Every structure is written in C-alpha cells, then in structure tokens.
Amino acid sequence: MSNDTFTPTMNMANFYLPYPDELAKEFGASGFVMSIRRLYELLAREVDDKDPVEAALLRKVAGHYHDTYPGGDIIIRDSLTNIVAESDDWDDLTNDQKIHRGNVNAAIANVDRIRYELEMMFDSYEDAEEVTRVRRELAAISV
C-alpha cells in the first residue's frame, strides 16, 4: 500500500485517497479524488438525526470549502450560486444575440418569481381555480 494517505490537490479543495497498489493496477487508476466540502456534507448527513448541533457545525465547515467537479476542479459560482460558464462569449455575440439572451434570462427570472409567489400564497378556496390554472400553465412552459 502506498504511504501517501493524504495528498491535497493544489486548490486545497480535495483529498486524494490512494487505492492499494494491487487494486490500482486492477482499476487502472491510482486513487480517488474527493471534495473536502462533500466529505463534510456527508458527515453532517450521517449525524443529522443523532446530533443536529454537530450536523450544523459540519455544514458550516463545509461552506468554507469550494464545490468541485468529480475530477477535482473548483466550480466557480456567481453571487446567486449559479455555475459560471468557463468561457465568457458575451463580447463575441451580436446585438440581437445579446438581446435574445437577456430576454431569455429575464423570462426565467420572472417565471421563478411567479413560482415563488405561488408557493408562498395562502391557500384559499376563492383563488384555488386561478392558482391551479397558473400552475398548469407554468408546468406546460417549463423545460
């Protein structure tokens, strides 16, 4: 078995967990990359029912580490926690393409806001038919 029990990647967001030499040859891989954040989230889930205070602490610790892709690369997110695309093609778009993308993003934001408002509404018998109709329409246009 290899002596490297803990070798973090350069981004300090992952563990590298080596396979035993005989299994590494069989798998054709030397080890497993695991996100530090994911590890803390798994530990928190493990103690959720037994110790909610510890679970909350573990989730807080997890929040200090980056999300990563399975290969170990850090996932870059914007202030709304959306994944930021690797390449920014905004300057390459024509004005019509920029307007179209802006309209699509605005429409998505509006639909999300309507869904939120529907979820937060108090159920009342008078509004039930209208709310049901709007929910069905939103479901029909959802991708």
The pLDDT assigned to 88 comes to 66
Is the same domain home to 47 and 108?
Answer: no
pLDDT band at 5 (very low <50, low <70, confident <90, very high): very low
Is the same domain home to 23 and 62?
Answer: yes
What is the domain extent for residue 1? 1-86
Measure the CA–CA gap between 4 and 2, rounded to whole angstroms.
6
Q: Give strand ranges (E) for 19-121.
A: 31-35
Q: Cα–Cα distances in Å, from 11 out to 15, 16, 27, 73?
A: 10, 12, 25, 8
The pLDDT assigned to 46 comes to 92
Average pLDDT, the chain: 79
Is the same domain home to 61 and 96?
Answer: no
Is the same domain home to 19 and 79?
Answer: yes
Is the same domain home to 78 and 111?
Answer: no
Higher pLDDT, 17 or 53: 53
Final residue before a domain boundary, out of 86, 110, 130: 86
Q: How many structural domains comprise the chain?
A: 2
pLDDT in tens, 37-87: 989 999 999 998 899 899 999 999 998 888 887 777 787 777 666 777 666
Final residue before a domain boundary, out of 68, 86, 104: 86
Is the same domain home to 134 and 68?
Answer: no
Is the same domain home to 78 and 94?
Answer: no
Whether the predicted model's global pTM rises above the 0.75 cut: no
**What are the residues whose beta carbons fall under 8 Å from the beta carbon of 62, sequence distance 6 or more?**
36, 37, 38, 40, 41, 44
Is the same domain home to 76 and 29?
Answer: yes
Task: Assess contact for 44 and 59: CB atoms under 8 A.
Answer: yes
Is the same domain home to 39 and 107?
Answer: no
Higher pLDDT, 6 or 56: 56
Is the same domain home to 6 and 74?
Answer: yes
Final residue before a domain boundary, out of 86, 115, 131: 86
